[in-house]
């Protein structure tokens, strides 16, 4: 298969955070031609009004979310489409949904034995930051990376 | 033959554009690109057009990519038209399912234009 997906991590949960970061970085490297940075100091997380979610079911049950600002989402769409940001804005929901979908797929394909045992939902995208998500999880892994200097929050919330 | 009509099937319009751009960057002689948002739309597109190559996602609403490939294999008009799956579902089981259903190649998202070329070129045979 493709080199981007050739790394298979052990299933131990201690590996999930770096595996999530790698899955996200590969998507941005390959599909947006834009490396993400891991910030030396955690940046302030505010103004993130776009949330994309993909559900996981099967051996791993939970939800994977990617949060960013509208400005960042439009820039992502611009990079994916190869068009100016002002022309790509109306595609930003599709773009961040697809990014979340690719990150979820890339992540599960890196966890040994999970590829066939975990199904993904189609992505859902929420606009607005004033909401609470109650997903009844007992494990949450979160990481913040920088996309063009702006925070991008990736979370994996797992049941069981 | 260097005037290939390609059908790109994906429920994401952004992803359809990325796949189209990758095909053009790969220099595969694509002259016409048709788009469909799911398997059912893709079957209609195949009925109504002369398609030389199909690139298809798996997880889509209405009709998914595996069902599309199965139904496509029963269509006289689609005989010999190669299908390459492009999907996030990259497990061995999904690859086997897709190839068993009739797909000729399999590309995992995320991908590069070079990877698209690497997987598409062999299935085109003498067409390209």
- Among the ranges given (A41-45, A74-78, B15-19), the one the predictor scored with the smallest mean pLDDT: A41-45
What's the pLDDT at A11?
57
Distance CA B7, CA A49 (A): 35
Burial of B46 from C-beta contacts in 10 A (0-12 / 13-18 / 19+): buried
Q: Which of B21, B61, B108 sits opposite A1 (nearest CB)?
A: B108
User: Considering the domain boundaries, does residue A23 fall inside one?
Assistant: yes
What's the pLDDT at A52?
97
Distance CA B110, CA B125 (A): 25
User: Considering the domain boundaries, does residue A3 fall inside one?
Assistant: no
User: Considering the domain boundaries, does residue A145 fall inside one?
Assistant: yes
Region A131-157 average pLDDT: 90
Question: Which chain A positions have a beta carbon within 8 Å of B103's beta carbon?
Answer: none
Region A39-64 average pLDDT: 92
* More confident position, A117 or B99: B99
The band of B35, judged by pLDDT with boundaries at 50, 70 and 90, is very high
User: Considering the domain boundaries, does residue A2 fall inside one?
Assistant: no
**Per-domain residue ranges of chain B:** 4-127
Domains contained in chain A, number: 1
Is the pLDDT at A105 greater than 90, yes or no? yes
Region B81-95 average pLDDT: 88
The band of A1, judged by pLDDT with boundaries at 50, 70 and 90, is very low
* Per-residue pLDDT tens over the stretch B39-80: 999 999 999 999 999 999 998 999 999 999 999 999 999 999
* Per-residue pLDDT tens over the stretch B97-122: 889 989 999 999 999 999 999 999 99
User: Considering the domain boundaries, does residue A4 fall inside one?
Assistant: no
- CATH fold for domain B4-127: Rossmann fold (3.40.50)
Any chain B CB within 8 A of the CB of A36?
A: no
The answer to whether the beta carbons of residues A74 and A92 sit under 8 Å apart is yes
Residue of A nearest to B22 (CA): A31
Is the pLDDT at A20 greater than 90, yes or no? yes
Distance CA A121, CA A117 (A): 14
Q: A36, A82, A105: which to substitute to probe chain B, counting the most B Cβ within 10 Å? A: A105
Region A93-106 average pLDDT: 96
Buried b (16+ CB within 10 A) or exposed e, A5-24: beeebeeeeeebeebbbbbb
Q: Percent of chain A scored above 70 by pLDDT?
A: 92
User: Considering the domain boundaries, does residue A119 fall inside one?
Assistant: yes
Burial of B44 from C-beta contacts in 10 A (0-12 / 13-18 / 19+): exposed
Residue of A nearest to B113 (CA): A30
| CATH number assigned to the domain comprising residue A124 | 3.40.1550.10
* More confident position, A115 or B23: B23
Element (H, E) at A146: strand A139-147
Q: Which of B18, B93, B106 sits opposite A31 (nearest CB)?
A: B18
Any chain B CB within 8 A of the CB of A74?
A: no
> Can you give the residue range of the structural domain that contains A105?
9-159
Question: Which chain B positions have a beta carbon within 8 Å of A31's beta carbon?
Answer: 18, 109-111
The answer to whether the Cβ–Cβ distance between B61 and A80 falls below 8 Å is no
pTM of the entire structure?
Answer: 0.89
Q: Which of A30, A82, A106 sits opposite B21 (nearest CB)?
A: A82
Region B1-27 average pLDDT: 91
User: Considering the domain boundaries, does residue A92 fall inside one?
Assistant: yes
The answer to whether the beta carbons of residues A68 and A150 sit under 8 Å apart is yes
Any chain A CB within 8 A of the CB of B117?
A: no
């Amino acid at each position: 298969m493709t080199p981007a997906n050739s790394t298979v991590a052990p299933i131990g949960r201690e590996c999930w955070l770096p595996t999530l970061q790698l899955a996200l970085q590969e998507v941005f490297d390959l599909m947006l031609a834009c490396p993400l940075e891991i910030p030396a100091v955690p940046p302030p997380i505010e103004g993130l009004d776009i949330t994309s979610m993909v559900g996981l079911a099967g051996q791993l049950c939970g939800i994977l979310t990617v949060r960013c600002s509208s400005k960042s989402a439009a820039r992502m769409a611009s990079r994916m489409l190869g068009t100016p940001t002002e022309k790509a804005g109306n595609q930003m929901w599709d773009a961040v949904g697809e990014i979340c979908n690719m990150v979820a797929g890339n992540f599960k394909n890196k966890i040994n034995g999970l590829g066939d045992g975990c199904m993904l939902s189609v992505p859902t995208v929420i606009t607005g930051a004033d909401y609470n998500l109650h997903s009844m999880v007992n494990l949450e892994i979160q990481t913040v990376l920088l996309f063009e200097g702006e925070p991008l929050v990736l979370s994996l919330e797992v049941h069981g | 033959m260097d005037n290939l009509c390609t059908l790109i099937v994906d429920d994401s319009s952004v992803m359809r554009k990325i796949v189209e751009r990758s095909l053009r960057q790969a220099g595969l002689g694509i002259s016409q690109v048709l788009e469909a948002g799911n398997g059912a739309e893709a079957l209609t597109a195949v009925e109504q057009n002369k398609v030389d190559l199909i690139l298809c996602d798996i997880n889509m609403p209405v009709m998914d990519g595996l069902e599309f490939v199965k139904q496509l294999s029963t269509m006289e008009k689609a005989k010999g038209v190669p299908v390459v799956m492009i999907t996030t579902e990259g497990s061995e089981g999904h690859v086997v399912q897709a190839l068993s259903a009739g797909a000729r190649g399999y590309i995992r998202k995320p991908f590069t234009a070079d990877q698209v070329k690497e997987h598409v070129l062999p299935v085109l045979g003498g067409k390209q």
